[in-house]
Amino acid sequence: MTIQQISDKVVNGGRVNASEAVVTYIIDRNVNYTNVCVARCAFCAFYRPVGSPEGYVLGFDELFRKIDETIAVGGVQLLLQGGHNPDLPIEWYEDLFRAIKQRYPEFRLHALSPPEVIHLSRLSQQPVPAVLDRLIAAGMDSVPGGGAEILVDRVRKLLHCYGKASADEWLDVMRHAHKKGLRTTATMMYGTVETQEERIEHMMRLRDLQDETGGFTAFITWSYQPEHTEHGGFEETGVDYLRTLALARIVLDNFDNLQASWVTQGGKVGQLSLAFGANDMGSVMIEENVVRAAGAAYCMDELEIVVNIEDAGFAAKRRNMHYEILGDPIFREREVPRMLALATARADGDTSIPAELRNYEAKSRHGKQLRLTQ
């Protein structure tokens, strides 16, 4: 049942039943396969330029290990995103997706935000629909809504993220994905240079596309995290977060689900979000690299997420990316290891280069040299 149907029922004097008074969450793992990026967005503390000694690409084996750990705690998918690395051609992604699907046929790949798809389109000189077709054939299941920031080109130009994707380009990738039957999420990172009106414009553009395709499953918003970024500045308050969330709940009347961003706001504001329009606690956080690089990354494992949901008066239910209920908390069904600290993409000081990289053509001078010495 959708939020609208539940709302209509209540407005008409009905009562919600137990199955409708739930808050969902997903167990998945947020993995960043590379931090090397040519986009260089002004708000990003995560990326490293080509040739940086701190740049990394994860090997297939490292990714398999992360999937094994995810499955061990009841996880069902990878949220796979990374930098725009000129030395990873589309064949690398296809081979990775195929290898994952071969080993883990049931495991889902919520992979590659629209700017990454555009990057691959430019790198391979193929149109976006053809790139999506190739990725879908290799195993991509759904598209995460990252890289939207604020879908207003004035803002994108000021934040140096217009080059990676204009507002229209971001929306166009999602339109193509929806038309090909993929479900996607949508995001908004606010609190940089945008006006209040531009936040609304962002929501309106998402709402229009949702009216057109119905392909978005959820909306997730979070505040800009300023530490170690070129843009600098301050983080917006928790009150502003809750107001923005509540506004989104009203404006995005055709979105079934709103996620609480407890990773940037903390568990207690995350819990409060459930009274300000959110009906989902997002993902159990096993690993985080992007927000942590900018100075914030709260950690909650399944037990803590469930306690926060239940203390707020809701039943906690595990879901998949399509918001289908998978069941009750997994730790009540079997023993799972507690995750009290966030994993990172790589251990500190690990500068190893995956052996399989030598099979793929590099585009940067640095990458070409590395392949020769591998």
CA 175 centroid distance within chain:
18
Residue 215 interacts with ligand SF4 (CB under 6 A): yes or no: no
Q: How many CB atoms lie within 10 A of CB 359?
A: 11
Residues in region 131-190 near ligand SF4 by CB under 6 A: 161, 164
Nearer Cβ to ligand SF4 (170/276): 170
**Cβ of residue 51: shortest distance to ligand SF4, in angstroms?**
15
**Cβ of residue 116: shortest distance to ligand SF4, in angstroms?**
8
**Cβ of residue 93: shortest distance to ligand SF4, in angstroms?**
16
Nearer Cβ to ligand SF4 (27/189): 189
How many residues contact ligand SF4, by CB under 6 A? 12
DSSP lists the bridge partners of residue 79 as 30, 110
* Nearest in space to 314 (alpha carbons), one of 29, 27, 25, 75: 25
Radius of gyration over alpha carbons of the chain, in Å?
Answer: 20
Residue 84 interacts with ligand SF4 (CB under 6 A): yes or no: yes
**Cβ of residue 213: shortest distance to ligand SF4, in angstroms?**
24
Residue 39 interacts with ligand SF4 (CB under 6 A): yes or no: yes
Query: Which of 86, 115, 145, 282 is the binder for ligand SF4 (CB under 6 A)?
Result: 115
| 8-state DSSP, 175 | H
**Cβ of residue 324: shortest distance to ligand SF4, in angstroms?**
29
For residue 299, give both structure tokens: 């950690």
What is the Cα–Cα distance from 219 to 249, expressed in whole angstroms? 9
- The continuous run of DSSP H or E covering 259 comes out as strand 257-259
Nearer Cβ to ligand SF4 (87/280): 87
Pairing of strands 183-190, 216-223: parallel
Pairing of strands 257-259, 216-223: parallel
The residues of the shown chain that bind ligand SF4, judged by CB under 6 A, are 37, 39-41, 44, 46-47, 83-84, 115, 161, 164
